[in-house]
Amino acid sequence: MKNYSKTVALFVWVMLAIIIGSVGFLRFTTVPAHHVPPPQQWGFKGPLGTYDKAALQRGFQVYKEVCAACHELKRIRFRELAALGFSEPQIKALAATYSIKILNESGEEAERPGIPSDAFPPIHPNELATRAANNGALPPDQSLIIKARPHGEDYIYALLTGYGQTPPKDIVVGEGRYYNPVMAGGQISMAPPLKDGQVTYSDGTKATVSQMAKDVVEFLSWTAEPEMEDRKRTGLAVLLYMLVMTIIFYAAKRKIWKDVK
């Protein structure tokens, strides 16, 4: 009986520790202080955060009209855009605007219109061609870019809005490069990608640099973790289950040992 009681008590304490640790979980990342971007408010952050579908659609528009000229999105399939609120006909129409390279029955390279099950095709056939088209630079794929940096959402937003500042005297900006204080070393090969009014939002939202940067960050956060909302719902259900079971086991322990002093 004593062993059973100890087992129940241990289980209760373990469950409490897991619940407290899960609810209070924080991600700690060690980065140089001067590289930590200013924090922004994001509706999808936090244990109950969700994506804003209107912002996701605007962010996809910014990606498609601005970023897609250099940056690929090869880990996302067209059909997954349904999570952004796009209908099946819209997705089919969008996919058909892309050409997908395939091998025909003779083993020769051919092309066909894209279909919803296709991933976004690469812009260039290989890395050498990509570098040749970008003055030797290799624009990173955007699918997981938010996860590639500490404080990824804040970092990308600060990067997109960090152009146009006067570099300090100790930084000499090289030829073909641009000053951006967010980058290590203060220099970047990418030209300022955004300017006010660069896109026309169908919902009437004013397309300022700040607004476009926020929208595309929301979209890229989704591409990095499209299952985030499902994960949070599942996690919340698991925590509630663990809490209920902890209460039940604790009550069972008290009942079994109520007559023992």
Q: Give the model confidence (pLDDT) of 31-71 as tens digits.
A: 444 467 899 999 999 989 999 999 999 999 999 999 999 99
DSSP secondary structure, 10-77, as one string: HHHHHHHHHHHHHHT--------GGG-PPP---TT-STT----HHHHHHHHHHHHHTGGGT---TT-B
Domain boundary assignment for the chain: 37-74+140-226
- Model-level pTM greater than 0.75? yes
Residues 6+ apart with CB under 8 A from 164: 192
**What local confidence, expressed as pLDDT, does residue 104 receive?**
84
Which of 176, 184, 180, 183 is CA-nearest to residue 194? 180
- Report how far Cα 59 is from the mean position of its chain's Cα atoms: 12
Query: Quick one: average pLDDT of 212-240?
Result: 96
Q: Give the model confidence (pLDDT) of 89-139 as tens digits.
A: 999 999 999 999 998 888 888 999 999 999 999 999 999 999 999 988 899
For the segment(s) 37-74+140-226, the CATH number from 3.40.50.880, 1.10.760.10, 3.40.50.970, 1.20.120.1200 is 1.10.760.10
